[in-house]
Amino acid sequence: MLTSTQSTAGDILIIEDEADIRELIQFNLEREGYKTRTAINGAVGLDAALTRIPDLILMDIMMPVCDGLTALKRMRESASPLKNVPVIMLTAKGEESDIVVGLELGADDYVTKPFSPKEIVARIRAVLRRASEEIARAGATAAPVSTGDMLKVGPIEMDLEKHEAWVKGRPLVLTLAEFNLLKTLISKPGRVFTRDQILERVAGTDTYVIDRNVDVHVRAVRKKLDEEAEFIQTVRGVGYKCREV
């Protein structure tokens, strides 16, 4: 079943199998001026998204027929514009493994149930804002890359203009949050960043984010760094830093 309302704030597709949660989210988003559509599982949601590409997808992980992680994987492997649509995952488990898998597959953020409607709205606004900024950067007239656009520390190199990163010459596929986290840490080798400082740089000061997000993003980045995972070091009780070289 799909439903829709008219708005100018953005088109949000809600993929959630629990009717009460789906309706609660839809009600609060429409009250904020968003246009919404709903789907009861990943398969129906993908069909709806392909019919009309949404501005953002809010998707549960645990669903029948086609779960959220499977649907997200299909999206990111798609040759259609759906590949680049921002996705916020909903999870009732609160298990780090599910969250990490979702981020590694290309989710832009996650929300753990139970959640408040205000949290959902804040996360959506933040992700849409970051996506809009990313599109603006990508659409800007390209200029020759200067030294100031590059960061290189040890085995890691980042092109800040193109939003590309490499470890030992191997391309890193990073979400926007992961890119900003890595950029923050390697910009000051040896400096310890607290979780609050990292959150401010990764998500923005007006975003509702819990401390746990930082740990999850760090774990995801470390996994992608593979044998260079320890280049990002944990400073117990404080935060994280990039190893000095």
151 touches 157 (CB < 8 A): yes
CA–CA separation, 138 vs 162, rounded Å? Answer: 7
How far is Cα 43 from Cα 49, in angstroms, rounded to an integer? 10
pLDDT tens digit sequence for 42-56: 999 999 998 889 999
pLDDT digits (tens, 9 = 90+) for 54-111: 999 999 999 999 999 999 999 988 878 888 899 999 987 656 677 788 888 888 888 8
Alpha helices in 158-242 (DSSP H): 176-186, 195-202, 212-225
**Nearest-angstrom CA–CA distance, 240 and 187:** 13
Structure tokens at 61: 């992980």
Give me the pLDDT at residue 134, please: 63
Domains and CATH numbers, the chain: 11-139 (3.40.50.2300), 147-242 (1.10.10.10)
Global confidence as pTM: 0.60
Q: Give the whole-angstrom CA distance, residue 136 versus residue 128.
A: 12
Q: Would you state the pLDDT for residue 202? A: 76
Model confidence at 144: pLDDT above 70: no
pLDDT value at 5 more than 60 = no
